[in-house]
């Protein structure tokens, strides 16, 4: 089979056509992905965002965002993402609501595969973000959606008026969840594995001044109880080994996130936790493939930093194209693959 490169058309395969060749393919639709899209399209580059079947990233699971500049009264996470999506679309970005399931970064142009299409890319920006981590208990999995949740702002209202909800974790997310839930339920119990919170000072001040929020320190949840719905959690003190039960209707797990890089294993360099390794230009171990946002950044992990990384990655991709790297990489790839031919501009010349 002949493989057609940039500008090629192949009317039979329906895959590797001129239509499927993009200057920039962005995988992921959080703040990093949409910002990259806005910058790429405004540079007049043919850009697609493979947004995923559940687009918008983690902010879709957030309530009010108070630290994104430009919104003095705060903004709802889903509203912020909808605005970014509209801005990307009006800048000229094509948005595809499907997941990238595989990539071929050994080929040039690079290939990104979804359930029913192959996208060819001169450059790629990976902005797939990160997903919530779980405790890893069988009971947690069994009762997911029946009282176990990773998103208090989404599922908390279902437990309005409940006697008690448990939050696991000591970071900003856990505190945000506890504060949100304290408006809905009679009592919130935060179970944290240490005796100090990781959360920011301002969040600590808020939770400590909310009388409905109690803390269980140095402890972990070892089981979620209930057959059809959550009825309580079994907790173990890590210092004394003592175990006891906290009756509750819901458990919100807020113990951090893992990068969404499963489909990239073996395709580019990841660190030991699965985050994408990048250089100072946000380029990965593969030429012309960049990463932006929580998928590579485990330090800042903010919507605003993700957006900033999206901007940087797009500017690097634009420079990569302007400096003629795609043509060089294409020549190199062609030299190593004699079966590759240039596609004729007139499809009828193919056969
Ligand atoms: P995080 O800061 O990584 O905190 C995770 C928490 O879960 C830590 O307290 C950690 O304990 C605990 N934990 C981790 N694995 C655990 C396990 N297996 N069992 C029990 N506990 C476990 O994650 P995050 O709270 O989701 O925040 C992520 C980033 O987003 C942070 O930079 C945060 O500032 C930001 N954020 C900001 C806001 C806001 O500004 N409004 C809201 C949400 C998130 P240790 O402390 O012992 O490690």
What distance in angstroms lies between residue 224's CA and the mean position of ligand 1's atoms? Answer: 20
Q: Which residues pair with 223 in a beta bridge?
A: 234
Ligand 1 pocket residue status of 173, Cβ below 6 Å = yes
**Cα–Cα distance, 281 to 286 (Å, whole number):** 12
Number of domains, the chain: 2
Please, what is the end-to-end C-alpha distance for the chain in angstroms?
Answer: 13
What distance in angstroms lies between residue 108's CA and the mean position of ligand 1's atoms? Answer: 39
Is 155 a catalytic site residue? yes
Q: Give the pLDDT score at 344.
A: 40
| One-character DSSP codes across 117-182 | -EEEEEEEEE---EEE-----HHHHHTBTTTEES-HHHHGGGGTT-SEEEEE-SSHHHHHHHHHHH
Helix (H, G, I), strand (E, B) or coil at 341: strand
Joined together, the tokens standing for residue 252 give 């919100």
Q: How far is CA 203 from CA 28, 175, 186, in A?
A: 29, 6, 20
Q: Which structural domain, as residue segments, surrounds residue 189? A: 138-253
pLDDT band at 7 (very low <50, low <70, confident <90, very high): very low
Examine residue 2 and state whether it is found in any structural domain, yes or no: no
Give Cβ neighbours of residue 192 (< 8 Å, ≥ 6 apart).
168, 169, 170, 174, 215, 216, 217, 218, 219
Examine residue 144 and state whether it is found in any structural domain, yes or no: yes
Per-residue pLDDT tens over the stretch 199-246:
999 999 999 999 999 999 999 999 999 999 999 999 999 999 999 999
Ligand 1 pocket residue status of 236, Cβ below 6 Å = no
Per-residue pLDDT tens over the stretch 13-69:
344 555 689 999 999 999 999 999 999 999 999 999 999 998 998 888 777 788 899
Q: Give the pLDDT score at 341.
A: 60
Does pLDDT of 105 surpass 70? yes
Ligand 1 pocket residue status of 312, Cβ below 6 Å = no
**Cα–Cα distance, 113 to 40 (Å, whole number):** 21
Q: Give the pLDDT score at 19.
A: 66
Q: Are residues 102 and 238 in the same domain?
A: no
> Measuring from atom 2 of ligand 1, which residue has the nearest CA?
171
Joined together, the tokens standing for residue 94 give 């094509």
Q: Give the pLDDT score at 301.
A: 83
Q: Which of 209, 231, 253 is the last residue of a domain?
A: 253
Q: Give the pLDDT score at 64.
A: 75
Query: Residues 6, 98, 104, 154: which is the catalytic one?
Result: 154
Examine residue 161 and state whether it is found in any structural domain, yes or no: yes
Examine residue 347 and state whether it is found in any structural domain, yes or no: no
Q: Give the pLDDT score at 342.
A: 56
Q: Are residues 221 and 81 in the same domain?
A: no
Angle of helix 77-91 relative to helix 31-42, nearest 10 degrees?
Answer: 20
Q: Give the pLDDT score at 17.
A: 55
Does pLDDT of 1 surpass 70? no
């Amino acid at each position: 089979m002949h493989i057609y490169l940039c500008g090629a058309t192949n009317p039979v395969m329906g895959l590797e056509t001129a239509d499927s060749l993009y200057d920039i393919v962005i995988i992921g639709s959080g703040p990093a992905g949409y910002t990259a899209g806005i910058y790429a399209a405004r540079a007049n580059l043919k850009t697609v965002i493979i947004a995923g079947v559940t687009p918008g990233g983690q902010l879709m699971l957030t309530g009010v965002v108070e630290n994104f500049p430009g919104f003095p009264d705060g903004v709802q996470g889903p509203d912020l993402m909808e605005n970014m999506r509209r801005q990307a679309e009006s800048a000229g970005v094509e948005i595809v609501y499907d997941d990238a399931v595989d990539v071929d970064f050994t080929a040039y142009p690079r290939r990104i595969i979804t359930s029913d299409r192959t996208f060819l890319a001169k450059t790629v920006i990976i902005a797939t973000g990160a997903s919530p981590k779980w405790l890893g208990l069988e009971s947690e999995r069994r009762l997911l959606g029946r009282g176990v949740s990773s998103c208090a702002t989404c599922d908390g209202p279902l437990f309005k008026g409940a006697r008690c909800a448990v939050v696991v974790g000591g970071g900003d997310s856990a505190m945000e969840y506890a504060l949100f839930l304290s408006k809905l339920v009679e009592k919130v119990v935060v179970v944290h594995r240490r005796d100090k919170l990781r959360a920011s000072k301002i969040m600590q001040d808020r939770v400590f001044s909310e009388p409905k929020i109690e803390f269980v320190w140095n402890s972990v949840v070892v089981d979620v109880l209930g057959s059809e719905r959550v009825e309580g959690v079994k907790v173990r003190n890590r210092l004394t080994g003592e175990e006891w039960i906290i009756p509750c209707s819901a458990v919100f797990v807020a113990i951090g996130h893992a990068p969404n890089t499963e489909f990239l294993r073996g395709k580019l360099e990841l660190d030991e936790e699965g985050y994408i390794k990048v250089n100072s230009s946000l380029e990965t171990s593969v030429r012309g493939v960049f990463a932006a946002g929580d998928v590579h950044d485990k330090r800042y992990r903010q919507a605003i930093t993700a957006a900033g990384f999206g901007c940087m990655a797009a500017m690097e991709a634009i420079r990569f194209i302007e400096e003629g790297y795609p043509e060089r990489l294409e020549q190199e790839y062609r030299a190593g693959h004699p079966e590759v031919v240039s596609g004729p501009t007139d499809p009828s010349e193919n056969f």
